[in-house]
């Protein structure tokens, strides 16, 4: 009986690894092509668009996808279909209206001469890319709710093919390579969303209904989770905007070029993170808090070893990867790589602790903790640039991640101590 949850997790984990290898490889190729064959401005626009899209995805995962993933599996098949269908239709209507309103901003900016054509096109493309990404991500989460990771993998194959084809086309137009690459994200997002939508339409079918009761059901968890996700983005992704504001797009390019070397590690961990919350909830219900934490500790150790092996290989080959393969010169190269390695090393245990606390519904406490960590991080970023240069944004991020990790461990310890005696 106990083997079934573990077997199901291994099945999901294996499919997730394949999926993340695919996405990681595609993102690496796209980033490498942009940094190798376009200007710093074009690559900087592409990175800023990706950061904005990631913020939207994180907020939606916390506000909508995460809570739905937690409540839908416990529903009857008929009610489950109604939950995901009604919320999906509600999301589509809201995003359509919001995107149309936001597209007025770059149009006005260009019409009044406030933005150049390139900047206006990049901003409009980012809005459309965010719209497409949110539609795609919700459908991917529904595929996981229905235990269909292979279907998600097929949809992501379409996404990758369209994105890489779009990036290849973008490289042909040097002047507008940045906006064209963002357009590739738009086309790929819509292609992936359309394929996943059709899969779900065929089985089990989209069921419409009143979404209001389901929004009320997820609101208590989703509100604080979304607040925490947005605040976390402030110190996990806003470094690009800090660099662009305090320095220039060349600094954005340098920091992200160093990150590109470790991109497979980050994308792989994002894929594992997609399964952590549902897995932690299942293990907590099945085995109790102590056994859940032991299992997640083993998982953390295994993935950390993989990460360290990759980092060692990347470090040994760093000059070839950056100089020969990417044809890039990065200021303060070694320090940036080491700092990104530290970010990756802290990221994983922090995500594991966060998943455990999410299963325990300590979302509000986590939101406050993330806020304090973000304040520390952004303060070090902003005031550290005159002293450390571009590396200040990573020093601030490492400090914020460490503070967050310590706080999460303390919150979890408060639950472990009372729970240890009954178990």
- In this predicted model, which residue has the larger pLDDT, 264 or 181? 181
- In this prediction, residue 224 carries a pLDDT of 66
Enumerate the domain spans of the chain.
38-222, 238-415
- In this prediction, residue 197 carries a pLDDT of 96
Question: What mean pLDDT do residues 26-48 have?
Answer: 87
Res. 9: pLDDT tops 60:
no
Question: What mean pLDDT do residues 247-268 have?
Answer: 80
- In this prediction, residue 96 carries a pLDDT of 95
Question: What mean pLDDT do residues 208-232 have?
Answer: 76
| Average pLDDT along the chain | 83
Could you tell me the sign of the dihedral formed by the alpha carbons of 185, 188, 192, 194, in that order?
positive
Res. 237: pLDDT tops 50:
yes
Res. 145: pLDDT tops 90:
no
Confidence label for 89 from pLDDT (cuts 50, 70 and 90): very high
- In this prediction, residue 318 carries a pLDDT of 87
Confidence label for 306 from pLDDT (cuts 50, 70 and 90): confident
**CB atoms near residue 369 (< 10 Å):** 22
Res. 422: pLDDT tops 60:
no
Question: What mean pLDDT do residues 315-321 have?
Answer: 87
Res. 173: pLDDT tops 50:
yes
Burial 87-105 (b: 16+ CB within 10 A, else e): bbebbbeebeeebeebeee
Res. 8: pLDDT tops 70:
no
Cα(111)–Cα(132) distance, integer angstroms:
25
Calculate the alpha carbon distances from 276 to 9, 140, 293 in Å.
Answer: 10, 15, 12
Cα(180)–Cα(168) distance, integer angstroms:
10
Confidence label for 220 from pLDDT (cuts 50, 70 and 90): low
Calculate the alpha carbon distances from 126 to 15, 189, 239 in Å.
Answer: 29, 12, 18
Res. 420: pLDDT tops 60:
no
Cα(177)–Cα(72) distance, integer angstroms:
42
Angle at 390 between CA 384 and CA 396, to 5 degrees: 50
- Give the list of residues 6+ apart from residue 269 with CB closer than 8 angstroms, or none: 303, 307, 344, 347, 348, 351
The pTM score is: 0.74
Confidence label for 271 from pLDDT (cuts 50, 70 and 90): low
Q: 15-29, 83-97, 263-277 — which is least confidently predicted?
A: 263-277
- In this prediction, residue 255 carries a pLDDT of 86
Cα(147)–Cα(145) distance, integer angstroms:
5
């Amino acid at each position: 009986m106990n083997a079934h949850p573990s077997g199901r997790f291994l099945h999901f984990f294996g499919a997730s690894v394949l999926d993340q290898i695919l996405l990681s490889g595609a993102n690496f190729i796209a980033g490498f092509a942009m940094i190798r064959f376009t200007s710093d401005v074009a690559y900087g626009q592409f990175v800023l668009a990706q950061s904005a899209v990631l913020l939207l995805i994180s907020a939606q995962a916390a506000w909508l996808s995460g809570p739905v993933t937690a409540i839908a599996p416990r529903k009857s098949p008929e009610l489950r279909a109604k939950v995901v269908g009604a919320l999906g239709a509600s999301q589509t209507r809201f995003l359509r209206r919001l995107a149309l309103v936001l597209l007025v901003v770059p149009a006005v900016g260009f019409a009044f001469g406030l933005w150049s054509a390139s900047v206006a096109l990049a901003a409009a493309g980012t809005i459309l890319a965010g719209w497409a990404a949110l539609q795609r991500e919700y459908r991917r989460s529904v595929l996981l709710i229905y235990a269909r990771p292979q279907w998600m993998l097929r949809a992501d194959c379409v996404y990758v093919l369209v994105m890489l084809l779009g990036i290849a086309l973008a490289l042909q137009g040097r002047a507008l390579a940045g906006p064209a690459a963002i357009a590739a994200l738009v086309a790929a997002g819509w292609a992936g969303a359309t394929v996943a939508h059709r899969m779900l339409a065929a089985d089990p079918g989209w069921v419409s209904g009143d979404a209001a009761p389901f929004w009320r059901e997820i609101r208590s968890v989703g509100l604080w989770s979304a607040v925490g996700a947005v605040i976390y983005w402030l110190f996990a992704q806003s470094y690009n905007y800090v660099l662009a504001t305090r320095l220039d797009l060349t600094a954005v390019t340098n920091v992200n070029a160093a990150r590109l070397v470790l991109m497979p590690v980050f994308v792989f961990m994002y894929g594992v993170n997609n399964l952590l919350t549902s897995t932690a909830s299942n293990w907590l219900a099945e085995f109790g808090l102590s056994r859940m934490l032991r299992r997640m500790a083993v998982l953390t150790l295994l993935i950390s070893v993989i990460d360290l092996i990759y980092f060692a290989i990347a470090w040994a080959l760093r000059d070839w990867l950056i100089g020969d393969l990417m044809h890039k010169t990065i200021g303060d190269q070694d320090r940036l790589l080491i700092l990104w390695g530290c970010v990756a090393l802290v990221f994983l245990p922090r995500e594991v602790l966060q998943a455990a606390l999410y299963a325990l519904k300590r979302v509000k406490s986590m939101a406050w903790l993330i806020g304090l960590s973000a304040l520390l991080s952004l303060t070090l970023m902003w005031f550290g640039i005159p002293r450390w240069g571009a590396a200040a944004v990573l020093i601030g991020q490492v400090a914020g991640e460490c503070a967050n990790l310590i706080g999460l461990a303390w919150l979890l310890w408060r639950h472990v101590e009372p729970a240890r005696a009954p178990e």
